Structure 1
Amino acid sequence: MLDGIERSLSRLKAANLHDKHMPMAYIPEAVSVFMDFDINGVLPNLGINPSVANKLKNIDAKLRAPVMIAALGRTRSYLRRLESEHGSDGSSPEHEANQDHLIQDVADAHPPQPIQVWTEQWVYVKRGSRAKEIIVDVSELLDEAVLLAKTTNLPEDQAALTDIERAQLIAILETAIAVLKAPMVEPGLLKKAARVANEVARRTAKKKAEEALGTGLEHVAKRILELIVSLM
């Protein structure tokens, strides 16, 4: 399994794909690994949100290249940990990536400041509506952004965000994901999430670090604004 992930990861990095959407068929060895994980019920152990994980095991799906690389890097770490802890037989108790624990520890120690939101109105989202379609897209983009934010390998002084800022960003993004699952949405909260996404995107561009995260957050902000318009 580890060899398959390594080969796929090397192929992606060597191709210099930047932000291009790529078919999972480009890395069939990795798809095979994710399918095995799914069959054995351990795919959730990777700590990757379902909307991304479901694409990883689907040979016909497409993902942005940086998201693929982040997912494969996370999977490689998971498999290496299995080998060191349990040999190479693939059996392991469920556990999350160490990075996730560190991020949560930082968030607990330095929780985000209360966010001032001017509540406008709660809007019911009808099934089959344009807004519902956009919500699906926004939720997937948010899942991708969370994955990218969680899997940076840069030291703090080279990253676009400090550890505290990263933990707070993830908390805000995951809150937005949770809100979008509700039958009603609140535009004021969505506007705040879009502003935060744009602010972080500008910072990544200025520091020329974690630019894939910044690009993803730009997509998030744009689609959130489209969602707000569709709710009017």
Structure 2
Amino acid sequence: MTDPGFSLEEIHEMLDGIERSLSRLKAATLHQKYMPMTYIPEAVSVFMELEMNGVLHSLGINPSVANKLKNFDAKLRAPVMIAALGRARSYLRTLESEHGGGKPSPEHPANQDLLIQELAEAHPPPPIQVWAEQWVYLKRGSRAKVIIADVSELLDEAVFLAKATNLPEDQAALTAIERAQLIAILETTLAVLRAPMVEPGLLKKAAGIAKEVAQKTAKKKAEEALGTGLEVVAKRLLELIGSLM
């Protein structure tokens, strides 16, 4: 792990800032509401400090989400904020333990991401049959482009929430293998949406998988933020398909 060179006092100050922001978020009933980063100014300052010391990437946060965390003018959904703060706290506690100032963090974010990647490679998603319909070129300024920008952001958040859970497997909505496979599918969908052409059949399949996982989270009453996010992903993907017809 890269050593950012923080003193134990600086680490404790950042942990205090993260805890204050977390307490404020958890005290409010925010659900999936978009919140301005100014709602958690202490945390923004911590993320900016981590970025300036070249270690923000060590939290394993998607670049699109990380860019908002250090921007006072940005907005994020409350569950994504909470998950990001949890990752920052885990990372800082790991630094604290290395200074001899606390107990080691049970799971460093970078290690968790590596485990997910290894699981996906060991147990890749089964072949997914897709009936190709047509490849559609996306024109600049089209409604489809606008929807893609929105659904890409939603997918980034869903990937992050899927990676950020700290629930034991018997309490989580997904097994570790199911989680790794879901992340692989979501990231593949993101890659497809970044291409100049899209295929509706692929998007329908991705929407169906997102809806299935959302229903699973609702049934198990766990990881509801992920499930709600995937419900919105499925809805927006279907809107995107409609815009291509």
* Structure 1 residue aligned with 2:90: 77
Between Structure 1 and Structure 2, whose CA radius of gyration is higher? 2
SS in 2 for 1:97: helix
Which of 58, 61, 66 is residue 79 of structure 2 equivalent to? 66
* Structure 2 residue aligned with 1:108: 121
- Give the deviation of 1:54 after TM superposition: 1.5
> In the alignment, is residue 50 of structure 1 matched against residue 63 of structure 2?
yes
TM-score (norm 2): 0.87
* Structure 2 residue aligned with 1:200: 213
Contact 2:90 2:109 in 1 (8 A): no
**Unmatched runs of 5 consecutive residues or more in structure 2:** 1-13, 102-107
> In the alignment, is residue 226 of structure 1 matched against residue 224 of structure 2?
no
- Give the deviation of 1:87 after TM superposition: 7.2
Alpha-carbon distance in 2 for matches of 1:87, 1:226: 53
Q: Aligned-residue CA RMSD in angstroms?
A: 1.6
Alpha-carbon distance in 2 for matches of 1:126, 1:78: 42
The number of residues matched between the two structures is 226
* Structure 2 residue aligned with 1:92: none
SS in 2 for 1:63: strand
* Structure 2 residue aligned with 1:117: 130
TM-score (norm 1): 0.92
SS in 2 for 1:84: helix
- Give the deviation of 1:37 after TM superposition: 2.5
Which of 123, 133, 155 is residue 142 of structure 1 equivalent to? 155
Alpha-carbon distance in 2 for matches of 1:55, 1:174: 19
- Give the deviation of 1:86 after TM superposition: 5.8
Alpha-carbon distance in 2 for matches of 1:47, 1:127: 32
* Aligned sequence identity (%): 83
> In the alignment, is residue 168 of structure 1 matched against residue 167 of structure 2?
no
Alpha-carbon distance in 2 for matches of 1:188, 1:132: 18
- Structure-2 change in CA distance of 1:87 and 1:226 (3 Å): farther
**Unmatched runs of 5 consecutive residues or more in structure 1:** 89-94
* Structure 2 residue aligned with 1:126: 139
* Structure 2 residue aligned with 1:213: 226
Alpha-carbon distance in 2 for matches of 1:133, 1:60: 21
